[in-house]
Amino acid sequence: MSETIGFIGLGNLGLPIARNLLASGYALKVYNRTASKAEPLLALGAQQVSQPRDALTRGGIVISVVWDDVALESIVMSEGFLEQLGPGGIHLSMSTIAPAAAQNLAATHAERGCYYVEAPVFGRPEAAAARKLWICLAGPSAPKERVRPLLEAIGQGVFDFGDTIGAATLVKLCGNFMGTAAVQAMIEVTGLAKKSGNDPTKVIDMLTQTLFSAPIYQSYGRVIAEDPERYSRGPIPLKDVNLFRETASQVESQTPLAHLLHTLLSPIRN
């Protein structure tokens, strides 16, 4: 593992992913807009850099885990990024963005002779820390094979959706939309149970051990049942539902439930 990997984005997911790569023996050059977030990795041997391009090795691999399309595009178009990545270099993007944006970024990389590979992940930060992420993958075959050992070091399974950029990102948007719908259903179920005099925790326990024995229900259900007042979804579900709706609109696919979820989630953010 002599190759040094660039790593950009040390948020709630990026930090544990980077930590696991270090633990697996990879050398990392890390960049984060808020430099102090890199401090936990420095003691583990990571090298911190001050510009995105400085994280890159010409012809090497760089991983990015950033918030959205705008943040990712700003990284890619930053001074010297694509030039330093160079011919044969691979940008492994793990961000949740629009499929169309991913396709545009792939074309921009191809113009410089480098590759864009998408690998969005399913899993909360604690799953990332435990190497339990589920990873969707799409891109050219040879670059995918080159990055596969990195993905296997951070997750429990990789699902390959072919060569077409945007395919893996689409699956990520579908999964996030279904997860958001499931969480909204559990909020309403636990609310009904409580106001009807039933113990919402018992209701959720029964349902998530039988009819709905899936990780999304089991991981969120008890939290919602035990303390719905403190449960907060933050801005991510609204962002991802919007991406789902926009992507569906581009192919004229109907999404009435997504429109309803957008309406329900909008006050949470505002």
Amino acid at 161: F
pLDDT at site 1: 56
Structural domains of the chain, count: 2
pLDDT at site 211: 97
The answer on 191 and 136 residing in a single domain is: no
The answer on 95 and 8 residing in a single domain is: yes
pLDDT at site 269: 46
What pTM was estimated for this model as a whole?
0.94
Please report, for the domain that includes residue 158, its CATH number.
3.40.50.720
User: 187 in helix, strand or coil?
Assistant: helix
pLDDT at site 120: 98
CA pair distance 157, 259, nearest whole angstrom: 31
List pLDDT tens digits, range 202-249: 999 999 999 999 999 998 998 899 887 666 677 889 999 999 999 999
pLDDT at site 234: 79
The answer on 177 and 96 residing in a single domain is: no
Active site amino acids: 172
Asked if 132 and 155 count as a contact pair (C-beta separation under 8 A), the reply is yes
CA pair distance 6, 20, nearest whole angstrom: 14
Taking alpha carbons only, the member of 233, 229, 222, 184 closest to residue 200 is 222
The domain in which residue 209 lies consists of: 170-269
The answer on 255 and 178 residing in a single domain is: yes
The answer on 264 and 199 residing in a single domain is: yes
* Residues lower than pLDDT 50 in the chain: 269-270
Helix extents (H) in 5-61: 14-23, 39-42
C-alpha dihedral, 122 to 75 to 258 to 268, nearest 10°: 90
pLDDT at site 270: 43
The answer on 142 and 8 residing in a single domain is: yes
pLDDT at site 77: 97
The answer on 176 and 236 residing in a single domain is: yes
The answer on 191 and 139 residing in a single domain is: no
CA pair distance 18, 31, nearest whole angstrom: 11
Asked if 93 and 119 count as a contact pair (C-beta separation under 8 A), the reply is yes
The answer on 249 and 196 residing in a single domain is: yes
